[in-house]
Amino acid sequence: MGISSYGLIKRNSNKSFSDFFLASRDVPWFTAMLSIVATETSVLTFISVPGISYRGDWTFLQLALGYIVGRILVSIILLPVFFKYGITSIYEILEKKFNVHIQKLASLTFLLTRVMADGVRFLATAIIIQSITGWSIYVSILLIGFITLIYTVLGGLKAVIKIDAFQFIIYLVSAMICIYFLMDLIPDNSINYLYSSGKLKIFDFGGNILTNPFSFLSAFIGGCMLSFASHGSDYMIVQRVLATNNIVSARKAMIGSGIFVFIQFSLFLFIGSLIYLVTDCAIIEKDREITYIIKNILPVGFKGIVIAGVLSAAMSTLSSSINALSSSTLRDWFPNVKSLKTSRFVALIWTLILVSVAIAFNNVNNSLIIIGLKIASFTYGVLLSFFILSRLGKFRTQNIVLGYLSGILIVFIFTKINIAWTFYILGSVFINISVVLILEKFHKYLFFRDIVVILIISSGILFFYRSDQSDYTSNIIDIKVKESCLNDKIFNGG
């Protein structure tokens, strides 16, 4: 309730449309950096990363190395363009470079991706609250929605960013608390045992890089492209650096967030390794490792702090999503509407939509982390392609749209031939841009355009024809489970 109260206090600090969505462009780079980390650290990350090292090793950290490089690329290639035009929504760039139709296509892709992916995160948070309190899933969803709504709608982006930074500190402290109490329980020389048994392995130079997502090159390239796409074309992330007062501050916030995420992942992977030692290979349900610590290890007083950390990870992402969805809706679809009252009303509508999506996903039978990752993997590549194309020149609308469809289709094909998910975005960007450039080169020969259209339609029909026989429950991240826990049955801990 303290967070909601802060939103009430800051409600009068928003005097204009720019105040509400860009925090008057005076946010310090360090605060913006913490807000970026808090925003991208959803509850799925909080509850899933410890499980990766608990069941496997630290090779997941190879992705985080790529994250840093991806953010450097964003800082060099895309941030100068965003600051040059003084925009509110990054998709306004596409109107200036191409036309309003491409702008709206990019915005629509972002809106659909964000509302679906964050609906999953909304539900994941509610499940944690339900498991701890015993409340119904619907009460848990509504409670989270109400609290997040108050400080997001009333406080605007400035309140969201400051609360994000505060929430980052809360869940970082939560991680340290977990480490402290777990370290107190492990035997001497346990860390040496983890090292000698390969549980602390970071680099994996073996395996087929095209099919093994945690082979070094596969993970590094995948992390680089994921970060380049998410932090360069997802407005929810870019909005934070646009709130700083100059490009130097924006670059510090962007690159610094990559370093912080690397450290953060290391902490949560360490927690998972410690749980492995403490539980003596008791098999815990996937994504329930943090819940296991809360229920079985932490003293009463510290349980509340860690629960607050979990909720902080969730609410920082949700509040950021609501603000970004609202800003993109108004700037990209209703550019002449600049009323502060309307901005708050649109934020309210998106909150209700997120609540509805979370309730709808409650009946889906797939793992939540799989759903959340898959949604973004299909669209980040085409979103990034829009901005890369904007740096390359002018292109015909129909060619851009055909490239867009090709970029999405190739991801479907990759899933069918078992290409590692870490190549989804790279493949999507490559195919998207290649199709556009080829069609532009041979624009006088309609034969090439017709061939692309036929390939898109026929491949789409083939995919949907075969999709009935596909296994939708397969993991998008295939992590090797430790030998004594291969069956991965569900126990109640202990």
Q: Please tell me what DSSP assigns to residue 482.
A: P
CB atoms within 10 A of CB 441: 10
Strands, E assignment, 286-358: none
Task: Give the span between the Cα atoms of 203 and 58, in whole angstroms.
Answer: 8
pLDDT confidence bin for 290, thresholds 50/70/90: confident
CB 312 within 8 A of CB 167: yes
Residue in the block written with tokens 């509805």: 356
Give one DSSP letter per residue of 118-163, joined into a string: HHHHHHHHHHHHHHHH---HHHHHHHHHHHHHHHHHHHHHHHHHHH
pLDDT confidence bin for 27, thresholds 50/70/90: confident
Three-state SS at 489: coil
Sequence letter at residue 458:
S
Q: What is the mean pLDDT of residues 272-292?
A: 76
Q: Tell me yes or no: is domain 2-366 CATH 3.30.70.1400.
A: no
Cα 284 to Cα 79, 153, 174, 182, 301: the distances in Å are 43, 38, 20, 16, 24
Percent with pLDDT over 90 in the chain: 24
CB 419 within 8 A of CB 390: no
pLDDT confidence bin for 155, thresholds 50/70/90: low
Percent with pLDDT over 70 in the chain: 79
Q: What is residue 460's predicted lDDT score, i.e. its pLDDT?
A: 59
Cα 425 to Cα 38, 117, 344, 385, 414: the distances in Å are 23, 16, 34, 10, 10
Q: What is residue 430's predicted lDDT score, i.e. its pLDDT?
A: 92
Q: What is residue 71's predicted lDDT score, i.e. its pLDDT?
A: 97
Instruction: Dump pLDDT digits (tens) for 186-236.
Output: 877 888 888 888 889 999 998 888 888 889 999 999 999 999 999 999 888
Instruction: Dump pLDDT digits (tens) for 253-269.
Output: 999 999 999 999 999 99
Task: Give the span between the Cα atoms of 391 and 197, in whole angstroms.
Answer: 48
The more confidently predicted of residues 5 and 358 is: 358
CA angle 179, 185, 188 (to 5 degrees): 100
Q: 475 pLDDT exceeds 50?
A: no
Q: 473 pLDDT exceeds 70?
A: no
Residues, the chain, total?
494
| Residue 491, strand partner residues | 284
Q: What token pair was written down for 376? A: 């973004």
Q: What is residue 163's predicted lDDT score, i.e. its pLDDT?
A: 74
pLDDT confidence bin for 310, thresholds 50/70/90: confident
CB 380 within 8 A of CB 230: yes
Domain ranges of the chain: 2-366
Cα 89 to Cα 322, 326, 342, 427, 429: the distances in Å are 14, 10, 17, 26, 22
